[in-house]
Each structure stands twice: as C-alpha cells, then as structure tokens.
Amino acid sequence: MSAAATTIPGRVRPPLAVPARPSRWRSRLASAVVVAVVVLAFWSVQIDWARLSHLPADIVRYLWLMFHAPTWAKLPEALFQTWRSVAMAWAGTVLAILVATPLSFVAARGFAPAPVRLALRGLFSLVRAVPEIITAIIILSVTGLTPLTGALALAVGGVGTLGKWGYESIEGVPGGPIEAVRAAGGSTSQVIRWGVWPASAPEFLSFWLYRFEINVRASAVLGLIGVGGIGDMLTSYTQYREWPTVGVLLIVVVVVTISIDAASGALRRRIMEGARARALDEQ
C-alpha cells in the first residue's frame, strides 16, 4: 500500500491528487499587449512635458479672461443660436425615430429572415462606427453649410444607436403575449401592436429621450464645421480670441445642456418607474 494512501477500517482511500497549477500566460500576454499599446500611444503623441507643466496656470488665465467680465450684450444672440442647436437636435432625433423604429422590428428575431436581420444589424454597426461630424462633412457636399446638414447627420447617427437599442429591447420582451396573439390568429402587425409594443414602449420612449440628450451635445460640436448653432458662434469668437464673449457662450451652453439633461432624465425615470413607484420610494 502507498504511503500517501490513508487506511480506514473497511475501505482504502486513494491518495489525494494535487491539482495542476493554472496557466497564466494568456493574462500575462494580454497585460503586456496593453502596456505596449499605452507606451506606444504616449510615444507617438510626442507630448511636450515641459509645456504640460504650465497647463494649470494657462487654464486659470483663460478662465479669468472668459469669466471675469463676460460680454452679456451677446446673450440674446447666444440664446438664439442655442435654440437653433436644440432645434437641430430635435429634428435629427425625430427623423432617426421615424427610420429606426420600423427597422428595429425587422432586425429583431422572429420578424424577418436571418439574412435580412444580419444585414440590418451590420448596417447599424457601420453607422455607429462613423462619428456624426464625419457624416456631416459628407452630407454638406449636397446640402451645404445649413442647419439641415447637422440635423441629417444627427439623424443618421441616431438610426445606428436607436436601431440597436430597439431590436435588443424587442428581443427582451416576454414571449407569452406574443405567443398568445399568434395563437389567436393575429397577423404580424397585430403581434407588434398587442404582443410587443405594450411591453417595449417604455424602453423605446426612454431611448428616444436619451438620444435627444446626446444630440443636443453633438449639435454644438457640429457647429465647428459651420452648420450653424451655438457651436458655429463659439468657433468664430474663439478664433478671434474674443474671450469675454466665449465666456458668455460657454455659460449658455452649460446651463441649457444641464437643464435639458435634468428634464429628460426626470421624464425617463417617470416613464420607466411610474409615478406611483417613485412616490413609494420617496416615502
């Protein structure tokens, strides 16, 4: 009998097997690759570390130039241009909703053949991979430097995100109502209306509001290429180093963006949780 074996009255216990030490080469290789990528990124950017040390002082100086005496006379124009940016974001969101919502049902399982479904999902991924500002540069060759260019660029970007969020929400709907409608002889449109939409509508509405928040911020960035709105105004005064006016524009952008985010967030919570649930939580 082996010395490692343990003798017990009535039976013999076999020797305990020591588990093999797990291999860590994959995690080490991944860590090495990440470190190499970070080092190469810093190396290729060619950061001027000496100038970087002066960055805090430069930030304080520019904040002083912008906010110690803002040019409040530009406030009416800033508000008007901000309204144009918000209108651009709203138009882009509505166009994206009109296109992405029906495509979401086609891209979801059970409503279209697999090739069509996979092609649409690939299209959504492709659209999401292209930034809105690149899309706007492509569109402006046709529409010119107008707010319509920004709205169309935001709509194209919104189709990619809303389409993905939409078909994921549809596929998460419980199958019971859908099977009940189909068992009753309902058509595809009736399955969508009575089996899918009641359960997925809150998520769809929440996605739409969240996409509007994203478009409000993106519309300011699109102004950098001259499609109008507060971003266009901000770029112009920054180039001419009109820092007091830039300070007013930044104040307007921050206040309006925070206000829209707060209102949209409250609406999304109301949609997802309901008024009664929130009232119980506050108690």
CA distance 181 to 110: 14
Residue 128: phi, psi to the nearest 5?
-65, -25
**Which of 13-27, 90-104, 162-176 has the largest mean confidence?**
90-104
pLDDT of 190 reads 84
CA distance 67 to 243: 8
Beta-ladder partners of 11: 8
Decide: 70 and 237 in contact? Cβ < 8 Å: no
pLDDT of 275 reads 55
CA distance 12 to 6: 6
- Asked if the model's pLDDT at residue 279 lies above 60, the reply is no
CA distance 8 to 147: 87
Mean per-residue pLDDT, 159-187: 87
Decide: 249 and 234 in contact? Cβ < 8 Å: yes
Decide: 100 and 127 in contact? Cβ < 8 Å: no
What is the tens place of the pLDDT at every residue in 208-245? 999 999 999 888 888 778 787 888 888 888 888 899 99
**Alpha helices, DSSP H, located in 22-74:** 25-45, 49-52, 55-67
Give residue 281's pLDDT band: very low, low, confident or very high (50, 70, 90).
Answer: low
DSSP letter assigned to residue 24: -
pLDDT of 112 reads 83
N residues, the chain: 283
Token pair, residue 167, equals: 């078909």
Least confident window among 79-88, 188-197, 243-252, 266-275: 266-275
pLDDT of 267 reads 87
CA distance 213 to 263: 10
Mean per-residue pLDDT, 18-40: 83
Q: What percent of the chain has pLDDT over 70?
A: 90
pLDDT of 39 reads 86
Alpha carbon distances (Å) from 124 to 113, 144, 158, 161:
17, 26, 10, 7
Give residue 3's pLDDT band: very low, low, confident or very high (50, 70, 90).
Answer: very low
Mean per-residue pLDDT, 60-69: 89
pLDDT of 143 reads 82
Mean per-residue pLDDT, 150-159: 92
What is the tens place of the pLDDT at every residue in 109-147? 888 888 999 999 999 999 999 888 898 888 888 888 788
Domains of the chain: 74-275 (1.10.3720.10)
Please give the residue that has the higher pLDDT: either 5 or 183: 183
Give residue 158's pLDDT band: very low, low, confident or very high (50, 70, 90).
Answer: very high
**Alpha helices, DSSP H, located in 113-224:** 114-129, 132-143, 147-171, 175-183, 188-190, 197-222
Q: What percent of the chain has pLDDT over 90?
A: 30
Mean per-residue pLDDT, 69-98: 92
Residue 11 DSSP SS3: strand
* Burial zone of 261 (CB within 10 Å; 0-12 exposed, 13-18 middle, 19+ buried): middle
The chain-wide mean pLDDT, for the chain, equals: 84
